[in-house]
Structure 1
């Protein structure tokens, strides 16, 4: 093998990167032409398409962000403490007073309580203080010209171009997330096109500049996602000492009354209501952390963002904006596992007969089920959470399996 001195190798890599960037730019220009023709064929006015595509450029940073994965797996305590903050609670209460007439009208019309709309707004953009800074059209075009999710982002780009016409949007003002989410409520173009609603009666729906438009659109979106008026998101609960954690999770839904009979209570030893509402137990930080009873509106929140952490954060932020209390249970100090740690955990569980599927470093339902089965087999609390004890035991198992002796 031919060897290069360090400086020469550095120059070689630099040259390869430049060449790669040049090739990507060349292919991107070809892709832009194809996308332009597709937009016009779908009914976008040629003048609108021409102006829009003149502003579109390849953004390498978008591809980097699309490919990047966090080194560490986010824990619930870390996620929650960064999102349900005193600042957001106090700001939400301030905005509740400021926008009371608008929020009351939206609650009456769409059935979405005021404090929930504020919680979504707060989590998405810090109540509009940060809406993103990436050029939306360039981001969408870059991803549309990338093979990984080309079909999806091509569709989003076409929809964004139609929005320019329908809502008389300025391409320069269309900034958002690296993936193309836009405005106060971070709608993707498809959600913007379907659910954006004129809330200030100017004939247009501008999710960047108009708070009435943004909040009305959020209320319309949640209503269409299936929000059940008159019901809360869920609540924090206290589990009985003998609780079987195999009964947690979405597949183990039963009525609130049945959970009450099973010994679950509200914090402060208060009884749960006698209700036939369907609910399931969520334990996001293991048996040492808080537990929640999730109602149907919890799943509606997850249709906005498919994350139980997000849904809990929305619910608790909303509760506290409305004057409710914070968490009763303390957040445990959990170790920050890397994705490699979780992948090794998955490999070891598979090798011991606890099938979790292909190791991917993601702590999903299959991995939690595998951990739970391992805990049951080893007389541990079967909460499906990778506590330090489990990680240490499985590291010993893995070391013994790889030992030459």
Structure 2
């Protein structure tokens, strides 16, 4: 879920910043940037554990490679479904099997947030294969790397600070792995969105997006806060379909979620 951090969070994180750390385009300046960024992070409320995670961060060449080799390929809906899901029916079958393992959990999420199980399961399956692929790059490495990179610094700096705060709060282990750009957990939240919309569904005192319950509750909360209307349809042309744009800006992705959800809930 690579979405823009809310304006309020971006402003609050950057408002107290003094002198910004100097960005770079290769690994050579990363160590110096970390030292400067530590002061910036501390000024924005990052504590000792987060600062230690920053000090231990490594420049992620795999993140830079993934970022600079994006092709922006566009697929027709049928091709996207074939590549991403196999088929709508097989994907929906997998999702129903997951749902049937704990149906009361999904019912409770719909009761609290108004988001149907089909939507949440479609997102979970499309993002990480229902948790089978949570990513292989350390989150702190990847998010600090793109915050340091001059091409991406403005967007990712607030997310880097948020990730360090999550380490402080116990919601992110310093070495926890995620996707190439710092997306984390079962539904691939960026750290700033995890900090803003995260829900401690299992009530263990911390928001952990690597917990299925916290992750799916946070996803439901995100959609509800973005304008999801309980009990209303979600196919193309509806208000709820437009809310899916807040999750992923690709129309083909939104259509695949909506079409899958109908089959899952049907």
**TM-score category (smaller protein):** 0.7 to 0.9
CA RMSD of aligned residues (A): 1.7
1:136-215, aligned counterparts within 5 Å? 136-173=139-176, 175-208=177-210, 210-215=211-216
Q: Which residue of 1 aligns with 2:102?
A: 99
TM-score (structure 1 length as normaliser): 0.57
Where is the helix percentage greater, Structure 1 or Structure 2?
2
Q: Which of 299, 304, 318 lines up with 2:247 in the alignment?
A: 304
Q: Which residue of 2 aligns with 1:79?
A: 80
1:368-383, aligned counterparts within 5 Å? none
Higher relative contact order (CA 8 A, sep 6+): 2
**Partner Cα separation in structure 1 for residue 117 and residue 82 of structure 2:** 23
1:26-37, aligned counterparts within 5 Å? 26-37=28-39
**Partner Cα separation in structure 2 for residue 191 and residue 300 of structure 1:** 15
Number of residues of Structure 1 aligned to a counterpart in Structure 2? 240
Where is the strand percentage greater, Structure 1 or Structure 2?
1
What per-residue deviation string (whole Å, max 9, x for no partner) do you get for residues 140-161 of structure 1?
1111111112122111100110
Q: Which residue of 2 aligns with 1:219?
A: 220
**Partner Cα separation in structure 2 for residue 113 and residue 97 of structure 1:** 14
Does the 8 Å contact 1:36/1:49 carry over to 2? no
TM-score (structure 2 length as normaliser): 0.85
Unpaired stretches in structure 2, ≥5 consecutive residues: 1-24
How far does residue 168 in structure 1 lie from its aligned partner after superposition?
4.7
Unpaired stretches in structure 1, ≥5 consecutive residues: 1-22, 235-292, 324-405
Q: For the structure 1 residues 66 and 168, does the alpha-carbon distance in structure 2 shift closer, same or farther, using more than 3 Å as the test?
A: closer
How far does residue 195 in structure 1 lie from its aligned partner after superposition?
0.6
Moved over 6 A (4+): none
The alignment status of 1:123 with 2:66, answered yes or no, reads no
**Partner Cα separation in structure 2 for residue 94 and residue 193 of structure 1:** 30
The alignment status of 1:133 with 2:136, answered yes or no, reads yes
The alignment status of 1:88 with 2:121, answered yes or no, reads no
